[in-house]
Amino acid sequence: MVIKPKVRGFICTTAHPVGCAAHVEEQIAYIQSQPRVEGTKRALIIGCSTGYGLATRIAAAFACGADTLGVCFEKPASDNRTATAGWYNTAAFEQAARKAGRFAKTVNGDAFSDEVKREVIDLIRTHMGQVDLVVYSLASPRRKHPRTGETYSSVLKTIGRPFTSKTVDVHTGKVTEVTVQPATDEEIRDTIMVMGGEDWQMWMDALEEAGVLADGATTVAYSYIGPDLTRAIYRDGTIGKAKDDLEATALRLNERLQRRGGRAFVSVNKAVVTQSSSAIPVVPLYISLLFKVMKEKGLHEDCIQQMYRLLADRLYRGGEVPVDEQGRIRLDELELRDDVQAAVMSGWERVDTDNLAQLTDIEGYRRDFLRLFGFEMDGVDYDADVNPEVPLG
Ligand code: NAD
């Protein structure tokens, strides 16, 4: 079939297998252009198929030479629908990793469930013995709790009072105002249940109890802080409360793992275009301005550059890992630099529908968005007939 992008709001319902493979290859090539890193040898990546998780898996396998086991929640092709981008990414990653002589296997299922945790533990026992790195990079709209069976949904809302701000429809280029309503107490709790630290803790408990976590193991989960511009909707909003919980979990896990020479961190990463960040109101307009400024200053980074830095300059640089006062790894230092934020702010005050293309990198945003689904990759023939059915594993 000939596959073209079908964009509906902040999601693209099609994905291109050849384009997704090219996107994975591009990230592998970046890692291979960097110095090798003496680090993880056996890594478990929970949320491994897109965005930051995929980039971490690629960096672990190709910078450190690690065997990797991944967990994701993706759909294969069916009838005349393509598979999801994460499915194609994973197939391409597994193939490249195996070609390079690395073990690579992926469990496609609900990471929040006990069954998937058990399946992962069995696979570690059989193929890897133990893991020395556990990366927690889930971004999910809902979670079925494995003990109670209750399903929680996360919301992207403010806390306390409504927040009105500029926002952009990335696809039409229309800049409008949006008002985000405050969440109820129940919505705040539910968002913490989905995106907070409980499931990360459950993973670490299960791995440790099963004896598949190596002495001295490292675990890391991802967080975001961002600027004042997005504070009401992000860090001071429902998702921020979940991130507070995730960060508190890191401190508790760190204390526990330290007894066995291990360590737990939250890494605060920069804003990038991913399927998750596109769904947050206001954030895409901020990212479009940020990209313009960071590209002009030669500071632009995507997931793969950030994750290489996480391994090379933070986790495995030797000696103490540099952290902030709250014990967090910071990879957002360039995004939050005063000169970068001042330039973003100046653009923010002036931006409207007419000057959007001139003041922001909306084109770069759109391109990155389409690339998430395997479109807009150089060298891919998008008029060619391709087989959407790609096997995993
Ligand atoms: P993403 O949407 O690209 O990736 C989410 C991953 O989670 C995918 O691999 C998906 O398959 C997996 N997943 C979702 N639900 C699952 C389930 N029930 N079971 C198994 N796998 C499941 O998201 P991302 O933007 O890379 O986010 C990853 C983490 O990075 C999040 O914690 C996010 O808050 C954080 N982060 C993102 C940004 C950003 O700008 N995108 C910035 C800083 C931190």
What pLDDT shows up at residue 196?
Answer: 98
Does residue 226 have its Cβ closer than 6 Å to ligand 1?
Answer: no
Catalytic annotation, pick one of 30, 88, 234, 286: 234
Q: HSE (CB half, 13 Å, CA atoms) of 135?
A: 31
Dihedral angle, C-alpha 31, 36, 37, 38, nearest 10 °: 150
Does residue 52 have its Cβ closer than 6 Å to ligand 1?
Answer: yes
What is the three-class DSSP state of 5? coil
CA of 358 to the centre of ligand 1 (A): 31
The percent of the chain in helix, strand and coil, each rounded to the nearest 5, is: 40, 20, 40
Q: Which CATH architecture has domain 7-141+189-275+299-333?
A: 3-Layer(aba) Sandwich (3.40)
CA distance linking residue 299 with residue 273, whole number of Å: 16
Q: At what angle do helices 85-99 and 17-32 cross, to 10 degrees?
A: 50
CA distance linking residue 261 with residue 85, whole number of Å: 37
CA of 49 to the centre of ligand 1 (A): 9
What pLDDT shows up at residue 278?
Answer: 87
Q: What are the extents of the domains in the chain? A: 7-141+189-275+299-333
Does residue 108 have its Cβ closer than 6 Å to ligand 1?
Answer: no
Backbone angles phi, psi at 287, to 5 degrees: -65, -40
CA distance linking residue 388 with residue 91, whole number of Å: 12
Q: Which of these, 183, 109, 95, 173, lies nearest to 146 by C-alpha position?
A: 109
Residue 33 is given by DSSP the state T
Does residue 84 have its Cβ closer than 6 Å to ligand 1?
Answer: no
Q: What DSSP line would sit under 165-197, residue for residue?
A: EEEEETTTTEEEEEEEPBPPHHHHHHHHHHHSS
Residue 113 is given by DSSP the state S
Share of the chain above pLDDT 70, in %: 100
CA of 345 to the centre of ligand 1 (A): 27
Encode pLDDT of 55-80 as tens digits: 999 999 999 999 999 999 999 999 88
The answer to whether 234 is a known catalytic residue is: yes
What pLDDT shows up at residue 9?
Answer: 82
- Residue carrying structure tokens 């705040």: 188
Q: Which residues of 268-299 are buried (b: 16+ CB within 10 A; e: fewer)?
A: bbbbbbbbbbbebbbbbbbbbbbbbbbeeeee
**Residues 285, 166 contacting (CB under 8 angstroms):** yes
Does residue 276 have its Cβ closer than 6 Å to ligand 1?
Answer: yes
**Spans of the chain below 70 pLDDT:** none
- Residue carrying structure tokens 């500029």: 166
What pLDDT shows up at residue 89?
Answer: 98
- β-pair type (67-72, 42-46): parallel
- Element of type H or E holding 149: none
What pLDDT shows up at residue 393?
Answer: 80
CA distance linking residue 393 with residue 391, whole number of Å: 7
